[in-house]
């Protein structure tokens, strides 16, 4: 059975991804296409509804993004949000003008019509005195716009207003075209979820059939069909994405999957053992453990520049992986944990993820070994991958893991990367994680770790003068890793971490806590 789908056309809003996620929360599948997607691509997707996202442009900009105009003739219900609304007005014969006052932030929406879009929204007590024209329902919405609609296009009627926007929502009920000046996808819009839900179910008539269970079944079936009697390799690193990919592919084809775990010498303490422990013991997967640490460390000898470290690790990984994969007979596929945000070909999503993951890019490998890609997570957001992992029975220990960079401890061992320095760093790192977990802070923090600095400082232990290493502790909170705040860890916890590292890790006599946010700092030190 093919699930009902909603298409989101992206005009560059920072909230575009959120729209797709909100739709999916209702168990209806949603995808984002760039605003200029071809009509064929759109029709192929067979959407039951189309949402035009917001965006930073004004419809009067010379380079204003405009979709294929034929999308308005497909007979498919539409919802325009912010810029999407102005586009509908502008392209369908209405009037868009600069707002007298830019409207940004909370606004009180007066609903003037009992349209399906606002169905079930209870009246909200007014926040401001007076101001109401229609006297209908009121609710709080989130606005962010410079232009406003001053004349609705033919066929449309205004269905809500705010103090500054005479047409804060409009509808052409005949064509099932709806438009909102505010953002229903953000949490600040009180009834935003209901409004989107109304669009998806009442207006587009979707059925809520897209669940993780159905996703797993469909995906397993597809993998089986594609792979046939051939074999698949998958590189695992202990991270959430590669682990969930491996488990899902394994569920589909069992031992026709071989996982390769490359120990690059810059992993956390006992990392390989832990990951193997879970995947081998609980899921009975075939895992090839390759200890390539010496190779990696040899290549990194004397290298101080972080970007060189990244390149060396990336290139060497491909080499090792290639050698190992070549030993497996009949391999035709490489399974990879690419997520949806990595593949969205979107005007708004130019985040650093593409470059951050460059070292994972095994493109060269695919060509040389003639492998085809299996990317079962390419339609999912990170939080959905976690739900999927849980549904597959994977333990929290893997699902809730903090992200760990591909170049690993090499970029936390500032300057020279040697076995001795890595050993000091590893021991300190274990203590940081242990104490953070004991304090119950692990799940509130995005990432926490130790950094070994290339400075020595004077100390006194017992009656002796020491001249030893400095460890910096990093802990940040973040939603997506793009921006981050330093975490306000209680002093007692920091105190315990400091005491334990100095007492238990030989070669360290000073601990400092990093209190910088991103930007202007980054999460990693290198
Ligand atoms: P920064 O340090 O740029 O990191 O604030 C943002 C997020 O990306 C991770 N990171 C990397 N991940 N390869 C990766 O796979 C890398 O080279 C890399 N550099 C940083 C970092 O740990 C954080 O989660």
- Between the alpha carbon of residue 515 and those of residues 212, 439, 447, 487, the distances in Å are 39, 19, 14, 8
Same domain? 239 vs 386: yes
Indicate whether 230 belongs to any domain.
yes
Q: How many domains does the chain have?
A: 3
Q: Whose CA is nearest to atom 10 of ligand 1?
A: 405
Q: Which residues contact 346 (CB under 8 A, 6 or more apart)?
A: 10, 16, 32, 34
Same domain? 172 vs 263: no
Q: Which residues contact 164 (CB under 8 A, 6 or more apart)?
A: 99, 100, 101, 103, 107, 148
Beta strands in 355-406 (DSSP E): 372-374
User: Greatest CA separation found in the chain?
Assistant: 88
pLDDT for the residue numbered 460: 92
The question of whether 185 is a catalytic residue gets the answer yes
Task: For a ligand 1 pocket test, name from 311, 405, 447 the mutation site with the most ligand atoms within 8 angstroms of its C-beta.
Answer: 405
289 alpha carbon – ligand 1 mean position (Å): 24
414 alpha carbon – ligand 1 mean position (Å): 15
pLDDT for the residue numbered 237: 87
The question of whether 259 is a catalytic residue gets the answer no
Same domain? 387 vs 508: no
Q: Whose CA is nearest to atom 20 of ligand 1?
A: 405
Last residue of a domain, one of 365, 399, 433: 399
Identified catalytic residue from 90, 161, 183, 360: 183
Indicate whether 519 belongs to any domain.
no
Pairing of strands 29-34, 5-10: parallel
Same domain? 329 vs 416: no
Last residue of a domain, one of 378, 399, 420: 399
Q: Whose CA is nearest to atom 3 of ligand 1?
A: 522
Same domain? 172 vs 287: no
Indicate whether 294 belongs to any domain.
yes
pLDDT for the residue numbered 360: 46
Ligand 1 within 6 A of CB of 266: no
Ligand 1 within 6 A of CB of 356: yes
Ligand 1 within 6 A of CB of 405: yes
Beta strands in 250-341 (DSSP E): 257-263, 287-291, 331-335
Assign residue 425 the CATH number of its domain. Answer: 3.30.300.10
Same domain? 34 vs 117: yes
Alpha carbons 45 and 75: distance in angstroms, whole number: 15
* Domain enclosing residue 455, as ranges: 412-513
Same domain? 199 vs 253: no
Indicate whether 524 belongs to any domain.
no
The question of whether 284 is a catalytic residue gets the answer no
Ligand 1 within 6 A of CB of 523: yes
122 alpha carbon – ligand 1 mean position (Å): 45
Identified catalytic residue from 103, 185, 271, 324: 185
Same domain? 253 vs 324: yes
Q: Whose CA is nearest to atom 21 of ligand 1?
A: 405
Indicate whether 342 belongs to any domain.
yes
Alpha carbons 118 and 161: distance in angstroms, whole number: 13
pLDDT for the residue numbered 339: 86
Burial label, 356 (beta-carbon count in 10 A; 0-12, 13-18, 19+): middle
481 alpha carbon – ligand 1 mean position (Å): 8
Same domain? 184 vs 116: yes
Each residue's pLDDT, cut to its tens digit, for the chain (526 residues) gives 678 999 999 999 888 989 999 999 999 999 999 999 999 999 999 999 999 999 988 999 998 999 999 999 999 999 999 999 999 999 999 999 887 777 788 899 999 988 999 998 876 655 555 544 445 678 899 988 788 898 889 999 999 999 888 899 999 999 999 999 999 999 889 999 999 999 999 999 999 999 999 999 999 999 999 999 999 999 998 889 999 999 999 999 999 999 999 999 999 999 888 888 888 888 999 999 999 999 999 999 999 999 999 999 989 998 999 899 999 999 999 999 988 877 765 454 443 333 333 434 455 566 667 789 999 998 898 889 999 999 999 999 899 999 999 899 999 999 999 999 999 999 999 999 999 999 999 999 999 999 999 999 999 988 899 999 999 999 999 987 888 999 999 999 999 999 999 999 999 999 999 999 988 999 999 9
Alpha carbons 85 and 162: distance in angstroms, whole number: 15
Alpha carbons 194 and 199: distance in angstroms, whole number: 9
Indicate whether 446 belongs to any domain.
yes
Ligand 1 within 6 A of CB of 116: no
Assign residue 322 the CATH number of its domain. Answer: 3.40.50.620
Indicate whether 333 belongs to any domain.
yes
What's 34's DSSP letter? E
pLDDT for the residue numbered 164: 84
- Tokens standing for 451? 């950094």
Same domain? 166 vs 271: no
Ligand 1 within 6 A of CB of 447: yes
Same domain? 281 vs 346: yes
Write down the pTM of the prediction: 0.82
Indicate whether 520 belongs to any domain.
no
Same domain? 435 vs 501: yes
Ligand 1 within 6 A of CB of 426: no
Last residue of a domain, one of 351, 369, 399: 399
Q: What is the DSSP string of 91-159?
A: HTT-EEEEEEEEEEEEEEEEE-S--GGGTT------SSSS--SS-SEEEEEEEEEEEEEEEPPTT-EEE
């Amino acid at each position: 059975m093919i699930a009902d789908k909603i298409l989101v056309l992206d005009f560059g809003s920072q909230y575009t991804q959120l729209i797709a996620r909100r739709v999916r929360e209702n168990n209806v599948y949603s995808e984002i296409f760039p605003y200029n997607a071809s009509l064929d691509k759109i029709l192929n997707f067979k959407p039951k509804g189309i949402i035009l996202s917001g965006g930073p442009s004004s419809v009067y900009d010379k380079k204003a993004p405009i979709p294929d105009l034929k999308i308005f003739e497909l007979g498919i219900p539409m919802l325009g949000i912010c810029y999407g609304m102005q586009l509908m007005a502008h392209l369908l014969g209405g009037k868009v003008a600069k707002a007298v006052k830019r409207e940004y932030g909370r606004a009180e929406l007066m609903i003037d019509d009992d349209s399906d879009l606002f169905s079930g929204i209870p009246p909200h007590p007014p926040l401001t005195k007076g101001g109401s024209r229609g006297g209908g329902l009121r609710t709080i919405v989130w606005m962010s716009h410079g232009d406003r609609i001053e004349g609705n296009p033919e066929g449309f009627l205004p269905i809500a207003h705010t103090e500054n926007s005479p047409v804060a929502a409009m509808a052409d009920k005949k064509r099932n075209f709806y438009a909102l000046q505010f953002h229903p996808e953000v949490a600040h819009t009180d009834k935003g979820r209901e409004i989107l839900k109304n669009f998806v179910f009442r207006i587009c008539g979707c059925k809520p059939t897209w669940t993780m269970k159905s996703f797993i079944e469909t995906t397993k079936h597809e993998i089986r069909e594609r792979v046939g009697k051939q074999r698949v390799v998958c590189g695992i690193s202990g991270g959430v994405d590669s682990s969930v990919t491996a488990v899902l592919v394994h569920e589909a084809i069992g031992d026709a999957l071989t996982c390769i775990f490359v120990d690059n010498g810059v992993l956390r303490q006992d990392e390989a053992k832990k990951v193997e422990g879970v995947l081998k013991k609980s899921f009975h997967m075939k895992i090839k453990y390759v200890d390539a640490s010496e190779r990696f460390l040899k290549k990194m000898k004397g290298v101080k520049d972080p970007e060189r470290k990244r390149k060396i690790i990336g290139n060497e990984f491909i080499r090792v992986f290639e050698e190992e994969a070549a030993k497996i007979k009949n391999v035709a596929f490489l399974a990879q944990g690419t997520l949806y945000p990595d593949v969205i070909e979107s005007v708004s999503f130019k985040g650093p993820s593409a470059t951050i993951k460059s070292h994972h890019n095994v493109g060269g490998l695919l060509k040389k070994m003639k492998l085809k890609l299996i990317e079962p997570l390419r339609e999912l957001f990170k939080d959905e991958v976690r739900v999927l992992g849980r549904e597959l029975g994977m333990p929290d220990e893997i699902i809730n893991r903090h992200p760990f960079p591909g170049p690993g401890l090499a970029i936390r061992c500032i300057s020279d990367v040697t076995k001795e320095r890595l050993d000091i760093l590893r021991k300190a790192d274990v203590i940081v994680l242990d104490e953070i977990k004991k304090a119950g802070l692990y799940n509130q923090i995005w990432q926490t770790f130790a950094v070994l600095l290339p400075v020595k400082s004077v100390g006194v232990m017992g009656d002796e003068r020491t001249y030893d290493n400095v460890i910096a502790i990093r802990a940040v909170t973040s939603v997506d890793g793009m921006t981050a705040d330093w975490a306000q860890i209680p002093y007692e916890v920091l105190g315990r971490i400091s005491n334990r590292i100095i007492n238990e890790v030989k070669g360290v006599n000073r601990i400092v806590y990093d209190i910088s946010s991103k930007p202007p700092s980054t999460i990693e030190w290198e």
